[in-house]
Amino acid sequence: MSESDRDDGVNRRKVLECMTWVGTGVLWTVSGGVPRSLGIMGEAVAAEARGLTFLQISDSHVGFHLPPNPNALGTLGEAIAKVNALTLPQKPAFMIHTGDISHLSLQAQFDDADKVISQARLDVHYVPGEHDFLDPDRKFYVDRYGRGTKGAGWYSFDANGVHFIGLVNVFNLKGGGMGDLGAEQLEWLEDDLKGRSASTPIVVFAHIPLWTIYPEWGWGTDDSAQALSYLKRFGSVTVLNGHIHQIMQKVEGSVTFHTARSTAFPQPAPGQGPSPGPIKDFPPDKLRTVLGIANVTFKQNEQRLAIVDSPLQG
Amino acid sequence: MSIAKSISNTMRSALVAAGLGAATATMLAAVVLPGWAQSAPQANTGAISIDNFTFTPQTLTVKAGATVTWTNKDDIPHGIGSENNAFARSKALDTDDSYSFTFATPGTYKYFCYVHPHMTGTIVVEPNNG
């Protein structure tokens, strides 16, 4: 990205075709909606010493046991160990999980996930993935994680002046479509944002990406444009997703979109495989270099938000 | 025609019993009795495989009363849902799981994977005039 791309303000809605593959341990600082790489992880983290830090894990798929990962619960455990081993300038305030906690929505899989994730000793804010609504009555997820939420599990909360919004785009999906938020949730979102100052930093998290990455594989959300239209007036919007089991980033005006790695298995880059399923023949000794966690730091007053992706290994 | 149908039914039963597919039955019928190949009723079963996030065949035509079976050959779960809930939703299908539904009423049934809704397919159920 060139220097001249950096002057995007809220009023200039130029779409930056900036789909970036973020390398291991590179810190992205977001300033005025445009990310800049600050260099290797250690020095960059040291520069971001104040504000709010939180963690993101995603796509743990507890119960998955096929190539290339015979034990997704095991690698979730490694991810939590990684969380506990992170040396951050400040203790993370909480963790978010962007869905596909389980592989098949079995109570035992949710139990196993909870047991391992609780070892991080952090509050966890969940949103569901499509794999979390596979029980026949589609109620295990909401019964377990949905206390105080609306509909199929959407909600918002505030932390250190940042407004967090957890959305559900995996419920009651329509044939031929992609992810879907639905009219009721969109109405709630519009209402939730009403009256908030445009200077309030917003973090939106949901399972399926809220921008269209690859419709042929359903990697997008049909009515995300409507949701984003309500966020247009805010100066700092960060959208965190999972689902695609790889890191991808895009910036559009003041909105930064970022997807996290899975803790379970990698999926191909868009169109680079026969299907969006697991990369079955991924070299076992390299698996942990493509699984991982993310930590996100918000520095107050400067409206800067930094996302650091850390692999389980390497 | 009724003799032909009767032959066709007998032959099909024998073939199904021998473990041969409906396609083979149709092909043999066409060879043996070219005159009624087009109007011959389909087998009373149909199979759809789910492989690489795709339903194969994309469109399956059966006669009313046919039982259609979907089999998941992917290593990711899928689920069968239908447009306007025209037929019963399957439970989640893990690898190698199957779901069967018997279509009693003629019509065109559009369905999709409720886990990955970009996956779609169609069942055409023709009247069974036999």
What distance in Å separates the CA atoms of residue A259 and residue A207, rounded to the nearest whole number?
9
Would you call B19 helix, strand, or coil by DSSP?
Answer: coil
What distance in Å separates the CA atoms of residue A153 and residue A147, rounded to the nearest whole number?
8
What distance in Å separates the CA atoms of residue A90 and residue A160, rounded to the nearest whole number?
13
A244 CB neighbour count, 10 Å cutoff = 25
Q: Which residue has the higher pLDDT, B129 or A46?
A: B129
Query: Does a cis peptide bond (omega within 30 degrees of 0) precede residue A68?
Result: yes
What pLDDT score was predicted for residue B43?
Answer: 60
pLDDT confidence tier of residue B128, bands split at 50, 70 and 90: confident
A137 interfaces chain B, CB cutoff of 8 Å = no
Query: Does a cis peptide bond (omega within 30 degrees of 0) precede residue B57?
Result: yes
Q: Which candidate from A136, A177, A278 shows the least CB-CB separation from B75?
A: A278
CB pairs under 8 A between A and B: 62
**Residues B87, B109: contact at Cβ < 8 Å?**
yes
Closest approach of B114 to chain A, Cα-based (Å): 6
Would you call B100 helix, strand, or coil by DSSP?
Answer: strand
Pairwise CB contact (< 8 Å): A280 & B111:
no
pLDDT confidence tier of residue A304, bands split at 50, 70 and 90: low
A274 interfaces chain B, CB cutoff of 8 Å = yes
What pLDDT score was predicted for residue A301?
Answer: 65
What distance in Å separates the CA atoms of residue A96 and residue A166, rounded to the nearest whole number?
9
The CA-CA-CA angle for residues B58, A215, A237, to 5°, reads 155
Strand order, beta sheet including A292-299 = A34-40, A26-31, A304-311, A292-299, A52-57, A95-97, A124-126
Q: Above pLDDT 90, what percent of chain A? A: 78
Q: Which residue has the higher pLDDT, B1 or A62?
A: A62
A98 interfaces chain B, CB cutoff of 8 Å = no
For chain B, strand residue ranges (E) read 45-51, 54-56, 59-63, 66-72, 80-82, 98-103, 107-113, 120-126
Pairwise CB contact (< 8 Å): A177 & B117:
yes
Burial A201-224 (b: 16+ CB within 10 A, else e): bbbbbbbbbbbebbeebbbbbbbb
- The answer for residues whose C-beta is within 8 angstroms of residue A313's C-beta and 6 or more apart is A288, A289
Q: Which candidate from A105, A174, A277 shows the least CB-CB separation from B76?
A: A277
Q: Are strands A52-57 and A155-159 parallel, antiparallel or unpaired?
A: unpaired
Pairwise CB contact (< 8 Å): A175 & B95:
no
Pairwise CB contact (< 8 Å): A131 & B115:
yes
Mean pLDDT of A39-47: 40
Pairwise CB contact (< 8 Å): B76 & A134:
no
| Contact residues on chain A for B81, CB-CB shorter than 8 A | 175
| Contact residues on chain B for A173, CB-CB shorter than 8 A | 114-115, 117
Closest approach of B98 to chain A, Cα-based (Å): 15
pTM of the entire predicted model:
0.81
Q: Which candidate from B53, B77, B110 shows the least CB-CB separation from A276?
A: B53
Pairwise CB contact (< 8 Å): B74 & A277:
yes
A217 interfaces chain B, CB cutoff of 8 Å = yes
Domains of chain B, CATH where assigned: 2-36 (no CATH), 45-126 (2.60.40.420)
The CA-CA-CA angle for residues A143, A262, A64, to 5°, reads 65
| Contact residues on chain B for A68, CB-CB shorter than 8 A | none
Domains of chain A, CATH where assigned: 58-311 (3.60.21.10)
**Residues A273, A248: contact at Cβ < 8 Å?**
no
**Residues A312, A279: contact at Cβ < 8 Å?**
no
Closest approach of B67 to chain A, Cα-based (Å): 22
- Summarised one tens digit per residue, pLDDT across range A201-259 is 999 999 999 999 999 999 999 999 999 999 999 999 999 999 999 999 999 999 999 99
What pLDDT score was predicted for residue B105?
Answer: 97
**Residues A52, A160: contact at Cβ < 8 Å?**
yes
- Does residue B8 carry a pLDDT above 70? no
Mean pLDDT lowest for which of A99-108, A145-154, B6-15, B98-107? B6-15
What pLDDT score was predicted for residue A245?
Answer: 98
CA distances from A256 to A29, A33, A203, A301 (A): 11, 6, 10, 18
Chain A residue closest to B88 (CA)? A136
Mean pLDDT of B103-119: 97
- Summarised one tens digit per residue, pLDDT across range A178-213 is 999 999 999 999 999 999 999 999 999 999 999 999
Pairwise CB contact (< 8 Å): B95 & A66:
yes
The DSSP line for A8-71 is --TT---EEEEEEPPPTTEEEEEETTEEEEEEEHHHHHHH--SSEEEEEE----BT--STT-S-
Pairwise CB contact (< 8 Å): B117 & A176:
yes
Average pLDDT, chain A: 86
| Contact residues on chain B for A136, CB-CB shorter than 8 A | 91
| Contact residues on chain A for B85, CB-CB shorter than 8 A | none
Closest approach of B121 to chain A, Cα-based (Å): 9
A43 CB neighbour count, 10 Å cutoff = 10
- Summarised one tens digit per residue, pLDDT across range A50-65 is 489 999 999 999 999 9
- Does residue A4 carry a pLDDT above 90? no
What pLDDT score was predicted for residue B50?
Answer: 98
Pairwise CB contact (< 8 Å): B83 & A136:
no
What pLDDT score was predicted for residue B129?
Answer: 80
Q: Cα–chain-centroid distance for residue A45?
A: 20
Would you call A207 helix, strand, or coil by DSSP?
Answer: coil
